[in-house]
A and B are shown apart, each in its own frame.
Chain A
Amino acid sequence: MGQEYLLQVQNVTKQYGEKIALNDFSMDICQGEIVALIGENGAGKTTLLNIICGYCKPSAGQVQYKGKNIVANPLITREFGVLIEPQFLDYISAEENLRLLSQLTNQKQDIRIKELLEKTELYSSRKKKVKEFSFGMKQRLGLCQCLLTEVGFLILDEPFVGLDPIGKELFKQTILDMAHKQNVPVLFSSHDLDDVDEICDRVVMISKGNKQLDQPLEHKQTYTVKIECTISDDIKRSLMEKCGELSFFEDKIMFQDETLIIDIQKILLQKGHYICGFSVQKNNLKSLFGMEG
């Protein structure tokens, strides 16, 4: 049975004059999935999020939510909870900002506002004008804005930036709760691979507007074994012949299949080498991208 996609980005291109910010980009998101967008600065992550939210119009291609084109049916974006560079009216208080937003949905949400302000630990600052808020506080208030109404899809642009560890944890927990308890899909961008690794189910990498990678994080339950020893070309050859998939980095032999340890040890001993160090590490995104030695 095929998966049913809630959001489909189909061959989206966004061009600003001569500059192509997104190039023929496609991706899908299912119900309850947490997807992280990663990529260097200016890769096109925020542009993609802006297009999905309906802030920007694609130059080509389309975004479908629940099978409806977002550009042709802008009303469906009302279901989105969005946190992209959180915007407020900074001359009024945090509470008034939320109240104003709740008026837009024509609902009285005093209890929900209180609940959210307490959850984000902003309740004591609720009467303060937003212009007096720190960046982290604004980020928390942005989360309140996002969750004020019932959300069908959560979109966050670099949500962990400027947050203290408690704030970060709050955001992560919220994302996990939304996805796993309420089955709401979450799409967020981040530069922090540790954060991404911790909470997301799938990672999509963008570089210069092009999709470089789209894969589930299946490595979460896998491990890399590292053996430290003196490695000569002769040993490398012997190991590769007998053990197959190994990788070498400086004086380290790295592999995923722990059953190979005995074979490797035997070959090293036959060649008169000893193991100087040994470690087993849970795989993460950094190791996937070769950012850890």
Chain B
Amino acid sequence: MNTLAIITKIELKKLFQRKDSWLMFTILLVPILYSVGLASNSDVITYTGAGNITAIGFASAMFQMSQSMFIFNVILSAIVGRSLASEIENKSIRLYVNRIGVRKLIYGGKELALLIFSVFIDILLVLTSIAFYYAVLIHNPKVASGIFYDSNVGMEIVQIVCNCIFWLITIFLVMLMATKLKTLVCVGVYMILYIIMNLMSYIDGIKYLSPLHYVVAVSSNSPQITFSIILFFLYAICVGILFTHIGIRKIEKMDL
């Protein structure tokens, strides 16, 4: 097994052993509570969608809902911050320095593990949504159509993927911040940046710089949707490469 794979494996193990990482799993409560609420005709949870929803449509809606609940972004930024910033601060990153030697592998391994962790949570969110759609929501025929997908499936999958990509961008961004800032500061700065990104997404001209613009554009059926999707993919690739490159440069130069 190569060194990057070993670090990634260890980092994944650490992520699953740390209790704060488990907070991210509370995201699974979104489809659970929503499906239970709708199935029991709760007054608190209402469905305003056009027509009955499919299983994939429900999963996509749960992604959008989780994304709008800013809290999961904060939790993710705290997990990312702790993975790097806290280890730099308490010097436990030194466990790797001698034994690995090459610092870019340490940064890369940590980032890769976080990306895998995030994708794992996304997959769980899809599976939980589908499971609760069939186990619970299906009992409310006014909301659930009972079918797995319909003609909108392509767009719904794209919406899910775009939400996943936003979380990946969060990881790239907070990892970079974590080379310089402490965990709590990372979370604070990320929250401010999130608000700025949100505001930017409404301003013509600079909205293309905000990843939230693409998430919103993809979820609304605008005529330029294909263009937005392609642009968002390119945006994510550029941000990923650029932030990782800067992060590696920083960690290679710094005193640990």
A contact residues vs B (CB 8 Å cutoff) = 50, 53-57, 74-78, 80, 82, 84-85, 87-89, 91-92, 100-101, 103-106, 145, 149
Contact = CB atoms under 8 A, between A and B. Distances in A.
Contact of B253 (A57, A75, A101, A145): A57
A101 B6 CA distance: 10
B9 interface: yes
Contacts of B97: 53-55, 77
B20 to A, nearest CB: 10
Contacts of A54: 97-98, 101
Given A91-B18, A103-B6, 19 more contacts: A53-B97, A55-B94, A55-B255, A56-B256, A74-B101, A77-B97, A77-B98, A78-B98, A87-B91, A87-B95, A88-B95, A89-B92, A89-B95, A100-B13, A100-B95, A104-B6, A104-B99, A105-B99, A145-B95
Contact of A106 (B1, B96, B102, B253): B1
B223 to A, nearest CB: 51
A91 B17 contact: yes
Interface string B240-256: 00000000000001011
A84 B98 CA distance: 12
Nearest to A104: B99
Given A89-B92, A91-B17, A101 B255 contact: no
A75 B94 contact: no
A89 B94 CA distance: 11
Contacts of B18: 91
Contact of B103 (A74, A103, A149): A74
B103 A88 contact: no
B98 A88 contact: no
Interface of B: 1, 6-7, 9-10, 13-14, 17-19, 90-103, 253, 255-256
A92 B103 CA distance: 24
Contacts of B101: 54, 74-78
Contacts of A87: 90-95
Contacts of B91: 85, 87
A62 to B, nearest CB: 16
8 contacts: A57-B255, A75-B102, A87-B91, A87-B92, A89-B14, A103-B9, A104-B7, A104-B95
A53 B94 CA distance: 10
A139 B98 CA distance: 18
Among the interface residues B13, B14, B17, B99, which one has the most CB atoms of the partner chain A within 10 A? B99
A54 B103 CA distance: 11
Given A56-B256, A57-B253, A91-B18, A104 B94 contact: no
A80 B102 CA distance: 14
Given A57-B255, A87-B91, A101 B102 contact: no
Contact of A104 (B96, B102, B253): B96
A80 B255 contact: no
A273 B96 CA distance: 68
